[in-house]
């Protein structure tokens, strides 16, 4: 087996610790070509689409990608950020801002930990970010996927890609994995704070008159639940804990699932039909929040804030509110730090003093000369 070349070894170099935030991914640009490349990589992952390759890949490359690339590119174009301080895909921009904010907070707390982010599909790739960490002398990495609820279609495939890359390394780092944080108090507190802050600014729904809070999670095929994936149960638990934190009764909020693809049954109830039904019965106000997405993206900004709003209003609904995702809110960055530090326990989080490093180098050189 041929391994990727190792960086030049430096005697006495202090091993570094890193947190790698992993998110799903995004096209490099809102164009049919870029979206097509992204879709090919994403939808060819056997963990994402569990259909025999011989049947699925010809359909994917010959029909789905050509048909969906242009339509999806238009959707990405509608939410692409082009502000002076925020340019690019919202998912990438918000994830990078989360990594930067987490880095600053950990530094302020006295922890010398490198924080980086990578995308499972698209750029920056997991492989390229791991290589950059290796060249910085990183020997301990905490993998922290930004998927609060575990699923084989998201969390597991991110881990798979890390293991695939490290399989090619001669000198591998220590790894720790965060499987999920769907019921972590810091995560629930950040969700509570996000919804509460929005209601403080825009008014609280009148639940006594039938207003509703919809908690929309990304859907997966129902078959995954039957095969043992815990995602559905973890989404329900997140919804219940958030509802309780907000002081709501079960009928005042509802967990739904969005982004269904194909003809197979997915987790129900589906978000879009739920919004249409609420519109048909003349619901005065619907607020939609997406707890499973720590960063705003196509599925929240276009599918919910645009398409969902339209479906609700067309069906007869009155007032629609989309509550933004956690993004880089202060409470969420504090929550990320708490989750990360809990999993880093036992690893040194401060680099040695320069004098200590010099002593190590001198000791190593002396031993080498004696040998």
pLDDT at 199: 98
Question: Is 1.10.540.10 the CATH classification of the domain at 185-323?
Answer: no
Q: Give residue 357's pLDDT.
A: 46
**Local mean pLDDT, 10-residue blocks, the chain (371 residues):** 78 84 97 97 96 95 95 97 87 98 97 97 98 96 98 98 97 97 98 98 97 98 97 98 97 97 93 98 97 98 98 97 98 98 93 55 54 50
Kindly list the domain boundaries of the chain, sorted by start residue. Answer: 16-182+329-352, 185-323
Ramachandran quadrant class, 175 (left: phi over 0; alpha: psi -120 to 50; beta: rest): beta
In CATH terms, are 16-182+329-352 and 185-323 the same topology? yes
Q: Give the closest residue to 311 by CA, choosing from 286, 292, 346, 328.
A: 286
- The SS3 call for residue 133 is helix
CA-angle at 177, arms to 167 and 223, nearest 5°? 90
Its pTM stands at: 0.92
CA angle at residue 201 from 195 to 204, to 5 degrees? 60
Pairing of strands 212-218, 285-289: parallel
| 16-182+329-352 carries CATH number 3.40.1160.10 | no
| 299 annotated among ligand-binding-site residues | yes
Was 94 annotated as part of a binding site?
Answer: no
Polymer length in residues for the chain: 371
For the packed helices 155-166 and 126-135, what is the interaxial angle rounded to 10 degrees?
50
DSSP labels, 42-77: HHT-TTTS-S-HHHHHHHIIIIIHHHHHHHHHHHHH
């Amino acid at each position: 087996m041929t391994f990727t070349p190792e960086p030049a070894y430096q005697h006495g170099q202090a091993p570094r610790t890193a947190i790698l935030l992993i998110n799903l991914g995004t096209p490099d640009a809102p164009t049919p070509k870029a979206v097509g490349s992204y879709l090919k990589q994403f939808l060819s992952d056997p963990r994402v689409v569990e259909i025999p390759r011989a049947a699925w890949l010809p359909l994917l490359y010959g029909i789905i990608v050509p048909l969906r690339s242009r339509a999806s590119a238009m959707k990405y174009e509608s939410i692409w950020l082009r502000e002076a301080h925020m340019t690019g895909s919202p998912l990438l921009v918000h994830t990078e801002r989360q990594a930067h904010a987490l880095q600053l907070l950990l530094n302020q707390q006295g922890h010398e930990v490198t924080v980086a982010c990578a995308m499972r599909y698209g750029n920056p790739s997991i492989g390229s970010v791991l290589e950059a960490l290796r060249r910085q002398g990183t020997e301990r990495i905490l993998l922290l996927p930004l998927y609060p609820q575990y699923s084989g279609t998201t969390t597991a495939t991110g881990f798979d890609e890390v293991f695939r890359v490290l399989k090619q390394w001669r000198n591998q780092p220590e790894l720790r994995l965060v499987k999920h944080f769907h019921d972590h108090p810091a995560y629930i507190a950040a969700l509570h704070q996000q919804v509460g802050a929005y209601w403080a600014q825009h008014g609280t729904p009148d639940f006594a008159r039938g207003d509703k809070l919809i908690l929309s999670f990304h859907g997966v095929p129902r078959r995954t639940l039957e095969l043992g994936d815990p995602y559905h149960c973890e989404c329900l638990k997140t919804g219940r804990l958030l509802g309780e934190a907000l002081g709501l009764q079960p009928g005042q909020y509802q967990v739904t699932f969005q982004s269904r693809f194909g003809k197979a049954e997915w987790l129900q109830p589906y978000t879009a039909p739920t919004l249409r039904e609420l519109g048909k019965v003349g619901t005065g106000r619907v607020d939609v929040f997406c707890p499973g997405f720590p960063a705003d993206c196509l599925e929240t900004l276009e599918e919910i804030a645009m398409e969902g709003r339209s479906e609700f209003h067309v069906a007869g609904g009155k007032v629609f509110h989309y509550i933004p995702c956690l993004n880089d809110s202060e409470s969420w960055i504090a929550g990320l730090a708490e989750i990360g530090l809990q999993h880093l326990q036992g690893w040194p989080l401060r680099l040695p003093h320069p004098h200590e490093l010099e002593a190590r180098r001198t000791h190593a050189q002396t031993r080498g000369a004696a040998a």
